[in-house]
Each structure stands twice: as C-alpha cells, then as structure tokens.
Structure 1
Amino acid sequence: MSVPSAPVEVRGEGVLLRAPWESDVDRLLEAFGDSGTQLWNPGPSDPDGVLAWIAERADWSAGTHTSWLITQPHDGDVLGSVSVWKIDLDQGDGEVGYWVAPWGRGRGVASSAVRAAAAYAFEEVGLHRLHLFHAVENPASCGVARKAGFLLEGTLRQSYRYADGRHHDEHLHARLATD
C-alpha cells in the first residue's frame, strides 16, 4: 500500500478530517494564537505563514505524511489538526501529531480524530505501528492517546525542546494495527 498523492476525507465519530483550505486562514490564525497551542504545537502567526502551512499539509505527494484539519461534520468549522507523518513504508510505521483549538477542547475531538487517522493509516496506507509523543506536563494529551488506543510505552527524559525553550520529558505511546 502507499500514501495517496492528494488528501482524502476521513470520517470519525463526530469529526470530519479534511484537507486545509485557504478559507481556513482566519480560523487557523485564531487557533495558533492560543497560548496552549503556542506552547505545545506552535504554528505560524501571520496569514502568509498560515498559507504556507496549508500548502505543506495539503501536499501528500512525497508519500511521507498524511495531514488533515479536524472539523465539525455539520458546518466544517476548524477544531484542530491531526497528522500521520514520518511515514516509513518499508518499516510500516509512522508518527501521529495533533492539536485542538480552544473551542474544540474537552469534547473528545482529539481522541476521535486520532482514532480515525490511525484507522486510515492501518487500513488504507498499510502501516503496522504508530507512535506519538507528548510532554508529560500535558496530561490532556496523555488522555487523548489512551482514549485513542495508544498504550504508554515509557518516558523519554528531557527529549524535546518546546516553545518555552525548555527540554521537557515526554511520554511515548504506541498502537499496533493488531491492537
């Protein structure tokens, strides 16, 4: 199997994963302006930067990532983003990343989106293993991983420098296609 060259829509429980559009710029700027988003998953801060971010995520042609906006199915409002990246088809693995805008938090949006992205990666792309990392100080992200079926495999000490300039300990979670 392989990664398609163009984004495909994926439906999950209460979410629609779709390609980002230029019309999403204002909503993405609002999300990227949130202090929580800035700390754990910083994004661009100006319209041109958001347009470049959109173009990068909408281009699946390299076969190394899939990336979607998490949206509400009934009105298309942007709730966040989920990606499977660092895809290695030879090894059958990839890494999951996600963030949710403040107006989407606390509703199960992230775990639903991660479950849908994982199902797509396993069933359509043919991956065997997915993993994700999050800062230990971000317990909400740990809940997302667990609810999406990703088991905690361990703690990586001071493994990643986040936007605050500090190296944070991270939890490593993983899920197999057979889980």
Structure 2
Amino acid sequence: MRAPDELPAGPLLLRPWRAGDLDAVWSAMQDPALRAWSATPLDGSRETAEEWLARRLDVDDRPFVPWAVADAADGGLLGSVALHSVDLEQGDAEVGYWTVPAARGRGLAARAVDAAVRWGFAALPVDRVELVHAVDNPASGRVAAKAGFTLEGRLRRSFRYADGVKHDELLWARLADDDAPDLSTRS
C-alpha cells in the first residue's frame, strides 16, 4: 500500500519517507518518551533507526501507509504518522504517530493524525480508524480527542511497551461520518 507523494496539512507536510531521513530519525529516537511509548522496541542505536526507516521505505505489499511529518516551511522532520493494520475487508485501520520533542504541545500531532485519517477515509475503503495508547501516556489521549476520536474504553494489560510490562491502554475510534475536528486551537 502506498501513500500519496505529499499530503499538505496546514503548517505540516506529510510526505513519503526518504533514505536521507536517517539522521533525523536516529536523532528523534534518542528521546526517552518516544522510546518508552513506541510499539516497536527502540534502543536508540543507529542500526535500529536504519531498520525502522527501511520498514517505512518498503511498504508495497503491506497493509501499512506511513508518512514523514515535516514542517511545510523548511522541510524539517517533526514526526511520523501511519495508518497500519489496514483491513480492507472489514474497513478498519489503526493510526500511530510520534513527534519530536520540539514539535509537542502545538497541536501538530493532532493535525498530522487528522490528515492521515481523512486521507484514509477518502482513498481506502475504510470507515473506522482506531487509536490506542497506554493509559500512562495522557498526551496521546489529548491528541486523540483533538483529532476527533471518541474514547470507547479501556483495554486491560493489552500491550507490552519498551519497559517490558503489559500496560492498560485506552481505545479511541473515529468513524468516517463523525464530525470533523476543530484544529484551530492548540489545546
């Protein structure tokens, strides 16, 4: 599955990953918060960054649509967003994302998630997208709410994060016919 070449999203540009993103990805993976809440074990090594990026460069035969989230003005890498676990038969997908520390608290993650989800609803036969995060990561809950997702419930001991412990998670979902979120504020 392939994403469009570029997807404008206000001050952001969602674009395909490039081999030249390696240094920025490796730098981002030094962030303890990114490593703690990643679905993929990240040790901060350059080799892990290379493997992570390689999986995003080779997506043709996978139910996975990844984008690099870049600053639309200067092209600097601000994060990642992806539709994954895309199930065309059921019409479902999940969304995952991260941002570099300097991009946090400005509503950029919600804008990137919203853009990816809108693209999924328009380009794929998908009418439900889920966002799941650890209960102990309330920032992701704020992103989900701002991006128009509805909290549906708590999944007990549902996912093992980087600390090796299975954490409870919160399940949010957005349907294709839900109201569009108001992204005009930072909160």
The bucket for the TM-score relative to the shorter chain is over 0.9
CA–CA distance in 2 between the matches of 1:161 and 1:63? 23
Q: Does 1:28 align with 2:4?
A: no
Q: Which amino acid aligns with 2:45?
A: D
The C-alpha deviation readout for 1:103-130, integer Å capped at 9, x for no partner, is 1111111000000000010001231110
List runs of 5+ in structure 1 lacking aligned partners. none
Task: Name which of structure 1's ranges 39-48 and 123-132 shifts more when overlaid on structure 2.
Answer: 39-48
Q: State the TM-score, normalizing by the size of structure 2.
A: 0.88
| Seq. identity, % | 45
Q: Does 1:130 align with 2:129?
A: yes
Residue 55 of structure 1 and its aligned partner are, at CA, apart by 2.3
Q: Which amino acid aligns with 2:71?
A: Q
SS of 2:154's partner is strand
Task: Name which of structure 1's ranges 50-59 and 94-103 shifts more when overlaid on structure 2.
Answer: 50-59
The corresponding residue for 1:171 is 170
The corresponding residue for 2:90 is 91
Q: Verify the 8 A CA contact 1:7 1:58 in the aligned structure 2.
A: no
SS of 1:43's partner is coil
C-alpha change, 1:7 and 1:74, in structure 2 (3 Å) is same
The C-alpha deviation readout for 1:96-152, integer Å capped at 9, x for no partner, is 101111111111110000000000100012311100100111111000001111100
Stretches of 4+ moved more than 4 A in 1?
none
Number of residue-to-residue matches in the alignment: 176
Task: Name which of structure 1's ranges 75-84 and 21-30 shifts more when overlaid on structure 2.
Answer: 21-30
Pairing 1:94-113 to 2, within 5 Å after superposition: 94-113=93-112
Q: State the TM-score, normalizing by the size of structure 1.
A: 0.92
CA–CA distance in 2 between the matches of 1:44 and 1:94? 27
Give the root-mean-square deviation of aligned CA atoms. Answer: 1.5
